[in-house]
Amino acid sequence: MKCDECMPLLEDFLYNQVDGAAEKALAEHLPACDSCAREYALLQREQELYARSEVEIAPDFWSGVQARIASENRSGAQWFAGLFDAFRFAPIAGIACLMVIVGSIGLWRYLSPRTDHPVTAQVQNAPQVGVTTTAPEIEKGKIDWMLPYRPVSRSASRVYVRKIEKRAPATNVVVESKPLNNELDADSARHLEQVEMLLRSFKNSRRSNTLDLTYESGVSKDLLARNVLLRRDAELAGDEPLTRLLDQFQPFLVDIANLRDNSDSKEIHKVRERLTKSEIIAAVHSF
């Protein structure tokens, strides 16, 4: 064995971790090689120094470990016991959970904008056929349709229902409202009203050669944008009558929106004529 082979094995040899053949070779090499023997002797002396003392284990060390194990077991057992204790309250907890679930469902249904509850309305004097709402703040005739569109939260409890009221001869007759299968949501109802008012206003406007249509044009642009969105929603919801109606609005809204200030009376007249022919106002009124 050469020195460069011997040196790396000295430590293993010291700790008795060398295989049989290498051990034999080392045992033969060390007495013959001064440098390797010196290194080995140094390792031995170091090891003796390190090994001179050893940590004494405290007599109560094991009892300390036992106490900690027992404590951990106790806490584990308490956890299990607590779990079983909890089962005693399981029926009460179950009932409470059920009540919470039922309450949540009820609340959700109550807050949902679509509802199947029939709505009755007391109509004073001459009953009207058309779109009415049950929302107190949007009473028919009091709607400022010129105001810009204000979206209504879908979570609000206000519900707008398409109603067809019976013509009643007498006053103070309670008219039974007849909810249709497809209810009209607040956005659509308001939109229909605003469009109807716009078209009616445009159709009945004073006939003159020129007309300042700045305001109508602006409102028509707003309604047109809204119309596109509502039409898409109605189509997605599968509400064909509403989709068709909104489809019919679109060309008129485009025409009115495109009328320039002080437009020629011929242009205005053409739009009016088409409006009259299409009977769109009657259609929206009876919707």
Partner 1 sequence: MDTIRLAGKLGTFAQTQQRGAGGLLERAQQGDEEAFSLLFEQYARPISNFIYRMVGRGDLAEDLAQETFVRAYKKIRTLRLNDGTQLSTWLFSIAKNVVRESFRSQRIDQSQVGIDDVLPVSIRGDEPAPDERLWNKELQHMVQQGLQKLDPDKRQVFVLRVFQQCSYDEIAAITGYSMSKLKADLFRARTQMRELLRPYLEQSNEV
Residues forming contacts to partner 1 in the complex (CB under 8 A) are 11-17, 27, 30-31, 37, 40-42, 44-58, 61-62, 64-66, 68-69, 72
**By the 8 A CB rule, do 32 and 19 touch?**
no
Closer of 15 and 215 to partner 1 (Cβ):
15
Question: Long-range contact list for 114-120, CB < 8 A, 24+ apart?
Answer: 114/159, 114/183, 114/185, 115/159, 115/183, 116/179, 117/159, 118/177, 118/179, 119/159, 119/161, 119/163, 119/177, 119/179, 120/174, 120/175, 120/176, 120/177
Closer of 45 and 114 to partner 1 (Cβ):
45
Closer of 69 and 225 to partner 1 (Cβ):
69
Closer of 41 and 101 to partner 1 (Cβ):
41
Q: How far is the CB of 17 from partner 1 (least distance, A)?
A: 5
CA distances from 261 to 49, 198, 273 (A): 107, 17, 19
CA within 13 Å, CB half, 184: 32
- Using alpha carbons only, give the angle 154, 159, 165 rounded to the nearest 5 degrees: 150
Q: How far is the CB of 154 from partner 1 (least distance, A)?
A: 52
Closer of 39 and 235 to partner 1 (Cβ):
39
Closer of 29 and 285 to partner 1 (Cβ):
29
Q: Return the SS3 of 211.
A: strand
The Cα 65–Cα 210 span in angstroms is: 102
Closer of 17 and 104 to partner 1 (Cβ):
17
The two structure tokens encoding residue 143:
């709607």
The Cα 287–Cα 281 span in angstroms is: 10
Q: How far is the CB of 155 from partner 1 (least distance, A)?
A: 49
Closer of 9 and 257 to partner 1 (Cβ):
9
Q: How far is the CB of 105 from partner 1 (least distance, A)?
A: 45
The Cα 235–Cα 224 span in angstroms is: 16
Q: How far is the CB of 68 from partner 1 (least distance, A)?
A: 5
Q: How far is the CB of 34 from partner 1 (least distance, A)?
A: 12
Q: How far is the CB of 24 from partner 1 (least distance, A)?
A: 11
Longest dimension (CA), the chain: 135
Q: Return the SS3 of 36.
A: helix
Residue type, 75: S
Q: How far is the CB of 27 from partner 1 (least distance, A)?
A: 6
